[in-house]
Chains A and B, each alone.
Chain A
Amino acid sequence: MASGQDSSGTTLMDLITSDPSATSTAGASSQQQSSSGVGSVGGSLLGKPVAPPADRKSKKGTLTQIQNETISAAKALNPVKPVSYAQLARSIHELAATCDQKSSQRQLVNSVFPKLAVYNSVDPSVAPSLLMLHQQCEDRNVLRYVYYYLARILSDNGSQGLSAAGGIPTPNWDALADIDAVGGVTRADVVPRIVDQLSAESSSDDVEFHARRLAALKALTSCSTSSSEMMEKLNEIVFGTLEKVADTKQKRKKGIFTKQGGDKESIIRGNLQYASLSALRRLPLDPGNQAFLHRAVQGIEFSDPVAVRHALSIISEIAAKDPYSVAMALGKSAQPGGALQDILHLHDVLARVYLAKLCHSISRARVLDQRPDIKSQYSSLLYQLLLDPSDRVCFEAINCVLGKGDNTESTEDRAGGWIRLTREILKLPEAPSVASKGVLSKSSEKSSKARRPQPLIKLVMRRLESSFRSFSRPVLHAAARVVQEMGKSRAAAFALGAYDEGASLDVESLDSDLENPMAEATRKPNPLSNGHGGMDTIAGLLASLMEVVRTTVACECVYVRAMVIKALIWMQNPHESFEELKSIIACELSDPAWPSSLLNDVLLTLHARFKATPDMAVTLLEIARIFATKVPGKIDADVLQLLWKTCLVGAGPDGKHTALEAVTIVLDLPPPQPGSMSGLTSVDMVSASDPKSAMALQRLVQAALRNPTLASALTRLQRCAFSGSWEIRIAAVQALTTIAIRSGEPYRLQIYEFLHALALGGVQSNFSELQLSNGENQGASGTGLGSLISPMLKVLDEMYRAQDDLARDIRQHDNSKQEWSDEELKKLYETHERLLDFVSLFCFVPRAKYLPLGPTSAKLIEIYRNRHNISASGGLSDPAVATGISDLMYESKVAQKETNTVQSGIDPDLAMAWAAGLEDDVWANNAPAVDKVKDFLAGAGTDAPDVDDEEYMNSRPSVGYDDMWAKTILETYDAEEDDGRYSGGSSPESTGSVETSISSHFGGMNYPSLFSSKPSSHGATQQTIREEPPSYSTSVLQRKESLENPLSGRGGRSFGSHEDEDKSSGNPQSGKALYDFTAGGDDELSLITGEEVEIEYEVDGWYYVKKRRPGRDGKMAGLVPVLYVSS
């Protein structure tokens, strides 16, 4: 077995015997004399045979040879080779001989036995020494190990490596023994001796040694069940013991509830009861054997909780096969006050689980149809388990109520289960006898309330809902599984017509059942008046449960999510809209964390769901289509085909047509191309570059769970950044930058990584894809985009660096418990302001609230501001700015007809909400935008993303400086590429010209000081810009014609508006400031109401204006929002 050996060749034994001080490379550690005396003992005996001396020469020879080989190999390889198996075995022989000495015992317990445990099996040649120790040694610790190893020898079924224990492979002693059939110590030799010795011990009545008796019995149970002789012996011992200890009814009560109470005799009896029932549990089930059942039934009343658990598990297993005799044998135990009622209060969880199974088997047994009284006792017991404090028990009870058996249950059982769940009512028994015993004292005190009959479904729903709020993954997983079972039963009920279209009818009849108890609970109104509330009740309960289930999709554990999706699939009703389920699945499939086995599992669930409800063929096929299109590489084609086939075959004559239609839809899909997955592949590509981005990706996935809209927007933008046309890619990159700046961390890091990869040459590698994707010759190399990205990267770099510095500073201050000095705070504040300035160049941020240094900086900056009386109103809290901007947004809707972009969220709250990564709810305030965004996210116009996105970019009313910047780049691009473009010009000149024009713009736009601090170039830039518009419009027109853009109508409109602008920009207009305006960045110009300005040109909702005389800040020209100036 390779298990004991890891890749570096270090075995577990190396690890275990290595010097603790040595490093992890245990094999290379220095002289291994370490803890064990084994080394020295072994060394002195080097070369001696391990097996007891015998006259089998060949055997001896082989052994010696192997031993020598092992040791010499060990020596040759490594002088500190850890203890070999042979050495250990030899030490046992040696030490067994002197086991009366304390030192030998110590050595055995401390070094030899623990090390021997590392090997996956123990060879029979050690057995004689073990048996000797067993007889002669009195040290408990040595003996415990002896029992452990004897059990392992017994359990070893002869073939090497099949032992359950694992570990380092043991040298193949058995095989060696077989070479020489005449002798050696073989299993066949030692096993009977071991069994004899252990049997004798376990049947002895010596009270002093009863602990050894327990251990011996336990060791005996490990012998293989295939030997009938051994089984007989074991049976004899177990039943013999039970004979003596089982009939002790009176003593039990003390033992069960007051653990330490009771006399010595009863405690010993309890211990023996435990050991014998534990052994009985390991014996093969014997349903026909009345003695077997009788002993198990007696076990229910034992004092030892583990014994009770074993007894119940035996009984529940027998009950599944022969409920009648079990019910008879149990007699009155199920009645109030009986032994089974006591188990409700037993501390052992599994015992109660078995009780639920037992109750389920008996209450559903057809053979007991004549005895409704018995059946009702057990169902009442089962229903009481629904109130169990342990989730495990409660869920088992729910599953039992729902009719889940061992997966062989029939549809009728399931349907019956659903009806039971929805109609039955839990009436807690009066249980005077129980209460009188004081067992139920607690619950009986508040019984007046708790006793009120409760409909099962309400109990179950309440319980499940609270479980779904748990933080424990196992609980979530289990709860989702229960919901899945519920869905299965419900589907069965549908299938049998017990609860289908006639739902209202059925539920109505049901609701009288349902409402009654609740009505009683409230104020005993006329049950008839509740006629219409009933449907709401069940449907409402289910709906609120499903709401909770859906939120669980946000769990970060993919297995929990898978279970939730399976539950949703099962709870999906053929008559309900499945849009939500579809979108959840589609969202989930974008997560690369899903292992393919799990996806196939979900597909198989679809398959099973279809079998349960053939009506859902179309729905299910649509869902399967999502799998086929989204993760074609991960799912097993066979599974998918199986699903399609079954849907086709099983749909029935009516459904066949619809099923066929659905399949055709899938077949009509284009085969998955590399391009169609570019969003994902691009992410993968980025992630492949280094572990940091892998981490970013992982975090993004986690974040995507919090905000699926933003995440899918990201994915789509990334795709656009790769595969759109030139303009689209720029717009996408800009949008990504905006998201990076405004959003919380995982997104930012992710985008940073993405942009980084893009700048480095992801573009080149994607060129092939580009050409595939839109057949348009892009006519440029990727460098253009690269130089576009680099300033964005620089800003992000700058932010990260500043954040790192801040983190370091904070740490330093914390460590030295130092206050921040004013100087340091000032520096921090300056960095903060500087970053704010940079960031504002790319997109709008609320200056008062935005924290480029991260949330940790908030406090420090606050301190500095307070100290120096700096109001935070540099930007947003300035009412003029705030209202101005919001005005701008709302009015621009009117002006531009469409407010459609992700980035139009200038409303500060919206921006902040976004920045905080909040839910999608924020979009509710911005209805047109929502639709647009949704369209965009849903991939509307995937075939022609260019047009879509172009419009998206052009009609953007946002005032980010980046827009203008991008536009100028575009304009230049179009102007300069005009010739080269359609002649397939990826000529170096064209690229060069683009580059130069871009860089000139960077300079010209008075771009952040970190890129170029040459405000003097202002004029020159203006020149460029002013020159461009005409060429832009012509190029646009030309392009429009040449492309024959089907959507040119729309495009034309927006372009037309530009033409107007262009005209206006030709001859400067004069205007007047309507409001005060405070510049938010270097490029903006502050205005005072009434000030006269000259409008130079308009860009995206901003005027570039010139003042007659310089303002207070000394600036003459700059950008102001259009709405601030009357033209």
Chain B
Amino acid sequence: MILAVLFANSDGNILIERFHGVPAEERLHWRSFLVKLGSENLKGSKNEELHVASHKSVSIVYTTIGDVCLYIVGKDEYDELALAEVIFAITSAVKDVCGKPPTERLFLDKYGRICLCLDEIVWQGLLENTEKDRVRRLTRLKPPVEP
């Protein structure tokens, strides 16, 4: 189960968040935990360098892409390595939408489309599509494989 996908800017403002299976009262904790994690470890980190953390049986993988930090929380089959796959799918989709690792401004300009991409990649706590082309087609309401 992918419990959370969270985009934040470098100041720790949350840009997009998708929780699944996390009770509302725990979300606040997760937000602050993740943002703190990022502020401690992502400064000076390379673009798309993967960082890892864990909390009990829950794994967290996070990275920066351009000016934006991306955190993914998962458990069970979505361990750190599976989350690395997820994060790779998301970052490549974001780069695809923005044309490059986004600045915060660019990210916000493409906000809607990024939401649609995210929708195709992680759906209800499960990884759905990972291929960039598939995601792109689906966000344009085209079938995943073109007839």
Contact = CB atoms under 8 A, between A and B. Distances in A.
Given A166-B16, A218-B123, A114 B113 contact: yes
A719 interface: no
A591 to B, nearest CB: 13
12 contacts: A15-B104, A117-B111, A144-B116, A144-B141, A148-B119, A164-B19, A212-B141, A268-B143, A348-B130, A350-B82, A478-B79, A557-B52
B128 to A, nearest CB: 7
A12 B126 contact: no
A10 to B, nearest CB: 7
Nearest to A396: B77
Contacts of B129: 306
B98 interface: no
Nearest to B56: A601
Interface of A: 1-4, 6, 10, 12, 15-16, 20, 109, 113-115, 117-118, 140-141, 143-145, 147-148, 151, 161-162, 164-167, 210-212, 214-215, 218, 221-222, 259-260, 264, 267-268, 270-271, 274, 278, 281-282, 304, 306, 313, 348-350, 353-354, 357, 390-392, 395-396, 407, 472-478, 481, 557, 559-560, 562-563, 597, 601
A144 B140 contact: yes
List of 5 A-B pairs having minimum Cβ-Cβ separation, nearest first: A114-B112, A166-B17, A392-B81, A474-B80, A264-B147
Contacts of A215: 138, 141
Nearest to A159: B24
A392 B15 CA distance: 30
A353 B77 contact: yes
A166 B19 contact: yes
Given A4-B14, A353-B82, A563-B54, 12 more contacts: A15-B108, A144-B140, A165-B18, A211-B141, A215-B141, A267-B146, A270-B145, A271-B144, A350-B77, A474-B84, A478-B81, A601-B56
Contacts of B140: 140-141, 144
Where chain B touches its partner, the secondary structure class is mixed
Given A306-B128, A392-B81, A12 B143 contact: no
Interface string B22-33: 001001100100
A20 B54 CA distance: 37
A274 B130 CA distance: 13
Nearest to B36: A595
B72 to A, nearest CB: 11
Given A161-B24, A267-B147, A559 B52 contact: yes
Given A145-B112, A349-B85, A350-B127, A6 B143 contact: no
Interface string B73-95: 00001011111110000000000
A581 to B, nearest CB: 20
A349 B86 CA distance: 11
B128 A474 contact: no
Interface of B: 6, 9, 11-20, 24, 27-28, 31, 41, 50-57, 59, 61, 77, 79-85, 104-105, 108-113, 115-116, 119, 123-124, 126-130, 138-147
Nearest to B60: A559
B112 A472 contact: no
Contacts of B14: 3-4, 12, 166
Contacts of A271: 143-145, 147
B111 A477 contact: no
Nearest to B23: A162
A557 B51 contact: yes
B111 A259 contact: no
A151 B104 CA distance: 27
B141 A473 contact: no
Contact of A214 (B27, B127, B143): B143
Contacts of A151: 119
B133 to A, nearest CB: 10
A210 B143 contact: yes
A474 B112 contact: no
A6 B82 contact: no
Contacts of A166: 6, 14, 16-19, 27
A108 to B, nearest CB: 10
A211 B27 CA distance: 34
A881 to B, nearest CB: 43
Contacts of A12: 13-15
Given A4-B14, A164-B20, A304 B145 contact: yes
Nearest to A26: B108
Contacts of B77: 313, 350, 353-354, 357, 396
Contacts of A140: 140-142
Contacts of A476: 52
Contact of A145 (B11, B41, B116): B116
Contact of B85 (A20, A392, A562): A392
Contact of B13 (A15, A391, A407, A473): A15
B115 A148 contact: yes
A560 B18 CA distance: 26
Contacts of B20: 164
B112 A117 contact: yes
Given A472-B84, A601-B56, A16 B18 contact: no
Contact of B128 (A144, A278, A557): A278
A210 B14 CA distance: 36
A357 B59 CA distance: 19
Nearest to B140: A140
Chain A CB within 10 Å — which of B85, B111, B112, B127 has the most? Answer: B112
Contacts of A270: 145
Contacts of B52: 473-474, 476-477, 557, 559-560
Nearest to A141: B140
B115 A117 contact: yes
A728 to B, nearest CB: 36
Nearest to A475: B81
Contacts of A278: 123, 128
Nearest to B14: A3
A349 to B, nearest CB: 6
Nearest to B80: A474
B40 to A, nearest CB: 8
A288 to B, nearest CB: 23
A220 to B, nearest CB: 12
A594 to B, nearest CB: 12
B82 A392 contact: yes
A395 B123 CA distance: 25
A478 B80 contact: yes
B28, B50, B52: most-surrounded residue (chain A CB, <10 A): B52
Contacts of A221: 123-124
A291 to B, nearest CB: 22
A16 B79 contact: no
B106 to A, nearest CB: 9
A274 B144 contact: yes
B82 A349 contact: yes
A866 to B, nearest CB: 38
| A3, A476, A562 interface centre (most CB from chain B within 10 Å) | A3
Contacts of B16: 166-167
Contact of A391 (B81, B119, B143, B144): B81
Contacts of A477: 52, 54, 59, 80
